[in-house]
Amino acid sequence: MRKKLLPLALLFTFCKMYSQVGVNTTTPAATLDINAKNATGTSANVDGVLITRVDRQRAQSMTGVPTSTLVYVNSIATGTQTGAAVNMDAVGYYYYDGTAWVKIHNPTNSIAANIYNADGTLTGNRTVSQAGNTLAFTGTASNAFSVDNTTFSVDAANDRIGVGTTTPDTKLTVSTPDNSFGLNHTNGTVSLKTYIGGGAAFMGTTTAHNLNVMTTNAARVTITSGGDVGIGTAIPGAKLEVNSGTAGVSGLKFTNLNSASTVGTGQALGVDASGNVITVSTSTQAATTENAVNNPPGSVVFSVNDLGYTIVTGSNQSVTIPAGGKALFVNFMLGIDYSSLPAGGGAAFYQAILFIDNVATNVYQTTQESGTGAQAQFNLSCVKFLAAGSHTLNVRMIRKYNNGTTSGANMSCSPISISFNSTYID
């Protein structure tokens, strides 16, 4: 026992005197300089330093461990990978960094490579468990971070993201080949996508669902899966339905077409009882010869009595109606001069009636005579539906009530003015 302690005492005395200790050397170059007994040759003797050997539990149990303490963990069957032993997952050398034991491991016998100084290849799947910690990347390059170059690119210089491009020109740029979809927003059932192809751009649903345009978090325009468009309604009943929300207001407005605009040709538009926009008939002049007669009193004479209708001279007209038939507006204005009185006359009633195709209509006017040289005014206006083809119209007169006038006696009449016009609804 004394033999073992004496060299150790001498060693510490030497260390205290010279502050350097040499083993197998008389000129130590450091605080402790250990030279191999056999630095070269083929000797089988063991040279080296045998570091303290402990298992994981022993290392984990140490307290007050000075920083830089070195141990060799020869077993991890004991203890747990927690606390100061959190890094002890394998047998090997560990040093204490003041908080935990840190592994000394360099299987390639070279400067350890990492993402900060070298490229590398993953040897398997890896997971980064962040828990409540953040993972941030900062950069100033235009393609600061990328996946397969153009698959995903972060332009840190301009705060932009590119998908399919390394040169995004907006906050998010998606670049695809022609005839390809770009963005897809889906919940697994409804898909909202963008598409570029054939020289055009598209956006909408690729599933059988409606597309809505919103403002103030409310749908304003709806395009149904069937292609109907609703403005102010989510259930349009036509290709375009506008619901202004106010009774009597259509919701449509034409900035450059108003009541002061020049009237053009074509059909007019209207609405039916359900609000559907339809074409409506417009007034078109019938194919007639407008007639205006101006005769001096007594120049043309025809006779009227109570026995039958007499055609007013100059009132015959011909009208041509197109295929399908038309509703014809007719207007006759006549000025009749009574040029002589029949026997017993002076208080009889005379009637002017419209005939169409030699058939009396229910359009007539009756006036009472007021004596020789008096005039009577007749204004016959109506709307009659006529079939396609040519039709004749005229005005005929009859003494409707004799009122003392001898039956069969003639009243001499002269048309001093006749005006005729007709128009059908096209």
| All structural domains of the chain with their residue ranges | 2-34, 53-104, 140-175, 211-242, 285-425
Per residue, what are the HEC states of the chain? CHHHHHHHHHHHHHHHHHCCEEECCCCCCCCEEECCCCCCCCCCCCCCCCCCEEEHHHHHHCCCCCCCCEEEEEECCCCCCCHHHCCCCCCEEEEECCCCEEEECCCCCCCCCCCCCCCCCCCCCCCCCCCCCCCCCCCCCCCCEEECCCCEEEECCCCEEEECCCCCCCCEEECCCCCEEEEEEECCCCEEEEEEECCEEEEEECCCCCEEEEECCEEEEEECCCCCEEECCCCCCCCEEECCCCCCCCCCCCCCCCCCCCCCCCCEEEECCCCCEEEECCEEECECCCEEEECCCCCCCEEECCCCCEECCCCCEEEEECCCCEEEEEEEEEEEEEEECCCCCCCCEEEEEEEECCEEEEEEEEEECCCCCCEEEEEEEEEEEECCEEEEEEEEEEEEECCCCCCCCCEEEEEEEEEEEEEEEC
Over pLDDT 70: what percentage of the chain? 87
**In terms of Cα–Cα distance, which of 419, 341, 355, 339 is closest to 392?**
355
Residue 106's pLDDT is 55
Rg (CA), the chain: 57
Question: Among 38-47, 93-102, 147-156, which is the least confidently predicted range?
Answer: 38-47
Residue 3 pLDDT greater than 90, yes or no: no
Mean pLDDT of 12-39: 73
> What pLDDT band is residue 417 in, cutting at 50, 70 and 90?
confident
Residue 294 pLDDT greater than 70, yes or no: no
Residue 358's pLDDT is 96
- CB distance 397 to 410 below 8 Å: no
Give the count of alpha carbons within 13 A of 147, CB side only.
Answer: 6
Mean pLDDT of 106-127: 70
Mean pLDDT of 156-178: 95
Residue 290 pLDDT greater than 70, yes or no: no
pLDDT tens-digit map of 51-71: 999 999 999 999 999 999 999
Residue 403 pLDDT greater than 70, yes or no: yes
Q: What is the mean pLDDT of the chain?
A: 86
Residue 352 pLDDT greater than 80, yes or no: yes
**Buried b / exposed e across 63-79, counting CB within 10 Å, b at 16+?**
eebeeeeebebeebeeb
Residue 289's pLDDT is 44
| Gap between the Cα atoms of 241 and 251, Å rounded | 10
Residue 171 pLDDT greater than 70, yes or no: yes
Residue 173 pLDDT greater than 60, yes or no: yes
> What pLDDT band is residue 27 in, cutting at 50, 70 and 90?
confident
pLDDT tens-digit map of 204-255: 999 999 999 999 999 999 999 999 999 999 999 999 999 989 988 888 888 8
Question: Among 71-80, 231-240, 277-286, which is the least confidently predicted range?
Answer: 277-286
| Gap between the Cα atoms of 6 and 300, Å rounded | 171
Residue 275's pLDDT is 82
pLDDT tens-digit map of 327-345: 889 999 999 988 888 888 7
Residue 295's pLDDT is 63
Which residues, at least 6 apart from 329, have a Cβ–Cβ distance to it below 8 Å?
283, 381, 382, 383, 422, 423, 424, 425
Residue 2 pLDDT greater than 90, yes or no: no
Backbone angles phi, psi at 56, to 5 degrees: -65, -40
Residue 6 pLDDT greater than 90, yes or no: no
Residue 420 pLDDT greater than 80, yes or no: yes
Residue 422's pLDDT is 86
Residue 182 pLDDT greater than 70, yes or no: yes
- CB distance 321 to 286 below 8 Å: yes
Residue 371 pLDDT greater than 60, yes or no: yes
Write down the residue that tokens 């009449």 correspond to.
Answer: 413
| Gap between the Cα atoms of 256 and 289, Å rounded | 38
Highest CATH level, class, for 285-425: mainly beta
Residue 291 pLDDT greater than 60, yes or no: no
Angle at CA of residue 357, ends 355 and 361, nearest 5°: 35
Residue 1's pLDDT is 44
> What pLDDT band is residue 104 in, cutting at 50, 70 and 90?
confident
